[in-house]
Amino acid sequence: MAHWALGAVLYRQEEYPAALPELERAVALRPINAGMWEWLGACYYALERWQDARTALEKALALGPSRDSARELLDELTAAGH
C-alpha cells in the first residue's frame, strides 16, 4: 500500500510524472484492486496518455463495475475522441 499512498499524494499535488511509477508499482503488487487501477488511469489521463488511461480505466471497471468516477473519466475520453 505504500506505493499507492505515495502515488496518491503525488497525484493530488499534480506531480503526475512522479506519481506514475508509484501507481504502476501499486497495480503490479495488487492487480485485482479496482481503485488502484482507477488511480493509475487518472494519472495516465492527466499525462495525456490516452490509450493507457483507457486500458487502466476499463480494467478498473471490469474489477469494480460500480466505480462511477472511473466510468465518468472513461466517458470523457470517449467524448473527446481518445
Parse the chain into domains and list their residue ranges. 2-79
2-12 residue pLDDT tens: 998 999 999 99
Query: Is residue 32 helix, strand or coil?
Result: coil
pLDDT at 58: 97
CATH class of the 2-79 domain in this structure: mainly alpha
- Please check the confidence at residue 17 and state whether its pLDDT lies above 90: yes
Residue-averaged pLDDT of the chain: 95
Confidence of residue 1 (pLDDT cuts 50, 70, 90): confident
Mean pLDDT of 58-70: 95
Cα dihedral 53→71→42→28 (10° resolution): -70
